[in-house]
Amino acid sequence: MNDLVELFAENAAAAGFTVHREGDAPEESSRALYGLADTGSVVLAASPEEPRARSLLPFTHWTLVERDRILPGLDELFTRLGTDLPSALAIVTGPSRSADIEQRLAVGVHGPGDVHVLIL
C-alpha cells in the first residue's frame, strides 16, 4: 500500500499537482473518489455533495484523497466502479492544459491552473 501512495505522490507531482501529506485544505476542496498511482490522477465523481463546478471553475483547486483509495490504475478503477457509474466522472491529471494552433502550451485556460492534492 505504501508503495502505491509513494508512486501516486511521485506521478501527481510530475503531472503538475502540488502534493501535500499533512495540513489543512480549503473548505471548498473536492474529495476524490480514488487516486490512480500509475498516472498520479485523481478521480472525481459528480454528486450533490461534489458539484462539478467545484473542480472546474476556480483557478486554484484542492483535492483530498485517502491513502486507502489509491489504486494502481484504470483497470482497478473500473473493476471497483463496476456498472454503478455517477452522472459524471472526471479523471484529472494535473492542471488544465491546452495549446493554440501553433502548439503553444497554455495552462489554466479551460480549468484550474494551480492544483493541489492532499493525501489523507
**φ, ψ for residue 73 (rounded to 5)?**
-175, -165
Instruction: Give how far the C-alpha of residue 68 lies from the chain's centroid of Cα atoms, to the nearest Å.
Output: 15
Q: pLDDT above 70 covers what percent of the chain?
A: 98
Q: Indicate the helix (H) or strand (E) that contains 110.
A: none
Three-class SS state of 108? coil
**Range from 9-18, 43-52, 70-79, 98-107 carrying the lowest mean pLDDT:** 98-107
pTM above 0.85, yes or no: yes
pLDDT of residue 96: 77
pLDDT band at residue 38, thresholds of 50, 70 and 90? very high
45, pLDDT greater than 90:
yes
* Residue showing cell 450533490: 48
| pLDDT mean across residues, the chain | 90
pLDDT of residue 95: 85
Higher-scoring residue by pLDDT: 48, 65: 65
In this predicted model, what pLDDT tens digit does every residue of 79-119 receive, in sequence order? 999 998 888 999 999 887 777 788 887 776 777 888 999 99
Closest CA to 118 of 50, 53, 55, 26: 26
Q: CB of 37 within 8 A of CB of 74?
A: no
